[in-house]
Amino acid sequence: MNKHALALSLLLSLVGAAHATMPTPQPAAAAAASEAQAQAPELAEGEIRRIDVENKKITIKHGPIKSLAMPGMTMVFVLKDEAQLNALKVGDKIRFDAARIEGVFVVTRLQRP
């Protein structure tokens, strides 16, 4: 094998190895969803203990809330989406995230498993 053939063979094997280690491109929607999931806060688990429809508040016995660096406890939250109040009942198991907004703890996201 001459010098040029050897160089070409070596170059092709390097290109093949580099291509094999490249990540597979993802469709834009899948990439955006994956990025959003990575940035979305982990939801805390809890149980509805009391519902105060008039004041738009719920009492939740919950585990740790990572976004607030808060340990598990039972406390009162304002529900951001008050339309969800009528769909909840005492004893419901929920997953949620909360934020402290102007000194008030607010449930910003709520799911029922």
Q: What is the pLDDT of residues 10-42, one digit of tens each?
A: 555 655 655 555 565 556 655 555 554 455 679
Structure-token match 């009391």, residue found:
50
59: how many CB neighbours lie within 10 A of its CB?
17
pLDDT at 77 over 90: yes
Q: Parallel, antiparallel, or unpaired for β 104-111 and 73-79?
A: parallel
Give 82's pLDDT tier (boundaries 50, 70, 90).
Answer: confident
Give the angle subtended at the CA of 75 by the CAs of 71 and 79, to the nearest 5°.
110
| Per-residue pLDDT at 101 | 96
According to CATH, what is the number of the domain 44-111? 2.40.50.320
pLDDT at 109 over 80: yes
Give the angle subtended at the CA of 48 by the CAs of 113 and 109, to the nearest 5°.
55
